[in-house]
């Protein structure tokens, strides 16, 4: 059985040169100094001291520091599923989070303290996003039949499917579906949809279907686009 990679806790400095990438794990950034401009799947924000951003697996993000002095952040790379519920909301106590992040950042430079910080830091950071029990609603939510939703999408690869399309089938708003997908599937809705499409393409290829026909049936714009997508997945 594949075991998830252990969490990585680090202090990172960002300059004014623009970067862009995506990960197959959650990335949690807590600002320490300066401001890091970040755009996640088209949504822009700034991470200043005490502010934070959770980037979900598969979400492409562009980033660069504001100002010549750059920016520094505490960064947690983790595959821990509960971080999915934090991607769309701010920490419950930003002041506490900033103090915790400064301490953990200091620990990354101290060999004797780093092992202890890595052992307990991820759980403490996750706790900073947890709302007080009295503020948590106790409403009953509509259940999403994910296998049925996947089957519906699988039959429509020839269409340009969107989050709104999935939400309509699930009888939810697009924002509700996006949040539920992160909570229950651990990825964004579009990343989940891309994963289904690619998995179907892989099945057809393993059954002996040609690349061109597989691309046509699964909605890829060309055989080369399908081949590139399969290679990216194999490397991840």
Beta strand 43-47 pairing with 61-66: unpaired
Nearest to 67 by CA among 15, 13, 11, 20: 15
Q: Is the dihedral of CA 162, 20, 83, 78 positive or negative?
A: positive
Q: What is the pLDDT of residues 134-182, one digit of tens each?
A: 444 444 566 888 888 888 888 888 888 888 888 888 888 888 888 888 8
Confidence of residue 131 (pLDDT cuts 50, 70, 90): low
- Which parts of the chain are beta strand (E)? 8-14, 19-21, 26-33, 35-40, 43-47, 52-55, 61-66, 71-78
Average pLDDT of the chain?
A: 84
Specify whether the CB–CB gap between 71 and 19 falls below 8 A: no
Nearest to 196 by CA among 232, 163, 159, 153: 153
Confidence of residue 236 (pLDDT cuts 50, 70, 90): low
DSSP classification of residue 207: T
Q: Average pLDDT in the 122-126 region?
A: 89
C-alpha to C-alpha distance for 169 and 153, rounded to whole angstroms: 10
In the three-class reduction of DSSP (H, G, I as helix; E, B as strand; rest coil), residue 122 is classed as: helix
Nearest to 50 by CA among 27, 66, 74: 74
Confidence of residue 93 (pLDDT cuts 50, 70, 90): confident
Q: What is the pLDDT of residues 66-91, one digit of tens each?
A: 888 899 999 999 988 888 888 777 78
**pTM across the whole model:** 0.57
Bridge partners, residue 20, by sequence: 62
C-alpha to C-alpha distance for 122 and 17, rounded to whole angstroms: 29
In the three-class reduction of DSSP (H, G, I as helix; E, B as strand; rest coil), residue 113 is classed as: helix
Angle at 230 between CA 21 and CA 75, to 5 degrees: 25
């Amino acid at each position: 059985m594949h075991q998830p990679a252990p969490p990585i806790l680090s202090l990172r400095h960002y300059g004014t040169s623009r970067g862009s990438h995506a990960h197959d794990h959650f990335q949690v950034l807590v600002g320490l100094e300066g401001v890091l401009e970040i755009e996640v799947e088209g949504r822009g924000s700034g991470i200043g001291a005490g502010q934070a951003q959770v980037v979900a697996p598969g979400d492409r993000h562009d980033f660069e520091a504001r100002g010549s002095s750059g920016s520094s952040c505490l960064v947690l790379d983790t595959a821990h599923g509960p971080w999915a519920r934090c991607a769309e909301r701010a920490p419950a106590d930003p002041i506490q989070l900033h103090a915790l992040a400064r301490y953990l950042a200091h620990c990354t430079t101290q060999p004797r303290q780093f092992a202890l910080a890595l052992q307990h830091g991820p759980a403490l950071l996750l706790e900073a996003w947890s709302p007080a029990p009295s503020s948590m609603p106790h409403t009953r939510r509509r259940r999403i039949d994910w296998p049925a939703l996947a089957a519906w999408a699988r039959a429509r690869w020839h269409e340009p499917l969107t989050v709104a399309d999935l939400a309509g089938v699930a009888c939810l708003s697009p924002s509700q579906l996006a949040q539920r997908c992160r909570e229950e599937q651990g990825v964004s809705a579009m990343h989940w949809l891309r994963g289904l499409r690619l998995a179907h393409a892989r099945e057809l290829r393993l059954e002996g279907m040609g690349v061109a026909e597989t691309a046509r049936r699964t909605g890829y714009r060309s055989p080369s686009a399908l081949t590139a997508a399969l290679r990216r997945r194999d490397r991840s």
